[in-house]
Structure 1
């Protein structure tokens, strides 16, 4: 009888795992950050590593097909249980922004420029996505980032 309980305990403690390979068709971005929201990463694909002091967040390099490679994580997950975001640089410290109008409404497809205040020549210029999100701008150490918006040109004025 004790043997049966012991086997059940081992099965319960080992838990189940899920595997995920995400395809992203980003044209000029090769780095990504993936957050499994509390599901511990058990196995990383080639070109990926855990973010410092995290067990459920990794950064990596997309392969030539635009795939992350296979992640194995604890528990059962669906597409709603993780997020994958494009990154500028392959560093642990990252921050992204959401572009909004003055009244706080999301403003998609807005041109922006992010500057690393620790290294002012390190900049990224892009356009926010349909949810107003910018790229995750990553730095080697904690640094202040500045976001600016190039002046829009109004024709006929």
Structure 2
């Protein structure tokens, strides 16, 4: 993917509620992720990327169901209610124009871009934010990789008739 006219990553929101620090160690919920959309602006393909983190306090496990699915195999279903109190909220965004260069090249370029975006986020938290959040976010990336996010972005483009490969 040829990426050009890249706008700087903007920090749109950062909320840190120190009064929830002690409780954040025992009763918390965490979610983060990219939202990647695209649209045609004039004759250019434009991609919009937002990244959000919500670290809340006071969530409740509503239900946990463990079902045996076979010998020595189990399925675990957990439902929970997010907490009402926000410990940390972080929102950032950027945009750029792009031209497709083929699926493999596009996935590689987009994965690299998201990796660099993550570096920007880590730098923010290491210099100005709640430093322990960096390791929480790194753990999240173990099961929600940048390559997976890039694939979802391509699928979003396809669903909007912006991707032909």
TM range (shorter): under 0.3
Higher strand share: 2
Question: If you compute each CA radius of gyration, which structure gives the higher value, 1 or 2?
Answer: 1
- Compute the TM-score of the two structures, normalised by the length of structure 2: 0.20
- Compute the TM-score of the two structures, normalised by the length of structure 1: 0.21
Higher relative CO (Cα under 8 Å, sequence separation at least 6) belongs to 2
Higher helix share: 2
